[in-house]
Amino acid sequence: MTSSHHHPAVLHAITSCHQLAKSRQHLAHVVQEEALDRAARAATDTRDGLRSQVLGRRHQLGGHADPVAGRIDTTPTGDRAGPMARLADSIDTTIGWLARIVTGGHYDGNLDPLTVIREDLPNLRRPAAAAAHVGRWLVEADDKIRRTLGLLPDHLPVPGNLACPACGLRMLRIVTSAPDSAGWVIVCTNPDCMCSGNRSCRCGMPVQGFGAGHIWDRSTQLVDGLLRQLPRRRVRSGRTVVVDDRGDVEGVAACTSLGYGSAPA
């Protein structure tokens, strides 16, 4: 029996988990910088200065009888969450909610929610239906972070700029969000390229799903062959050297197509 991991909806959801994990890392760094900046600015504020300006005046402004003073937010700037921190909290709340959905309410917050979603989703009774629902929320959260921070998708061009077997357009991209290349997938970025869910579709996905965007993982021979053409990198004498994985003409062509230039002899 074919693994449910191969259903396109499940693959998309797992890939979205990896993408969101990377964008959250960027967001966490920005939140830390924001907190340091706000703390530094808060050091120059004083509560007394916010409550009442007494310099150059005979009587103190504000006080218990002053209705305006009661409306002033006297919390130091560093103690209030900045916009990036609020965004991170919102994303974390959404992901935790999704983890509880996937686990049937058993998620307790002790583990990384994206890891829980990624590992438990394929084991559900109806993984494709659940993945389609959860995946939409994951994509929305990732898009929100990337739009806010100006992050580009974790994409690489396909070696040789091959055309999609389904729509024929040269819009295939390798999604490199997973920390291990074994988890990388190839997707067609044409928004109108969707699986017809039957043998008439020329996509060649191991499991077809009506209305799903085309996605191929490393279980397919074509994808495995393409990913093997990607150059790996190592650092030699303080400079990055691109080394061809295959050591043949196809591998060198892959290096060139990815913009790395020719592999060294």
Q: Same structural domain for residues 136 and 91? A: yes
Handedness of CA 116, 122, 128, 129 (dihedral sign): negative
Q: Same structural domain for residues 112 and 57? A: yes
Q: Same structural domain for residues 141 and 250? A: no
Query: Which of the listed residues 100, 125, 149 is the one where a domain comes to its end?
Result: 149
Please, what's the b/e burial string for 98-137 (b: 16 or more CB within 10 A of its CB; e: otherwise)?
A: bbbbbbeeebeeeeebbebbbebbbebeebbebbbebbeb
Q: Same structural domain for residues 105 and 134? A: yes
Q: Same structural domain for residues 104 and 14? A: yes
Domain span at residue 248 reads: 229-265
Please report, in tens digits, the pLDDT of each residue of the chain (265 residues total).
Answer: 344 457 899 999 999 999 999 999 999 999 999 999 888 887 766 554 555 455 555 555 555 454 444 444 444 444 557 899 999 999 999 999 999 999 998 999 899 999 999 999 988 888 999 999 999 999 999 999 999 999 999 998 888 888 888 899 999 999 999 998 888 999 999 999 999 888 788 888 888 888 899 999 877 766 766 767 665 544 343 433 333 333 333 333 333 333 323 333 3
Query: Which of the listed residues 131, 149, 167 is the one where a domain comes to its end?
Result: 149
Q: Same structural domain for residues 224 and 235? A: no
Q: Same structural domain for residues 86 and 123? A: yes
Q: Same structural domain for residues 179 and 218? A: yes
- pTM for the predicted model, two decimal places: 0.72
Q: Same structural domain for residues 168 and 140? A: no
**Assigned token pair, 158:** 């396909």
Query: Which of the listed residues 99, 127, 149 is the one where a domain comes to its end?
Result: 149
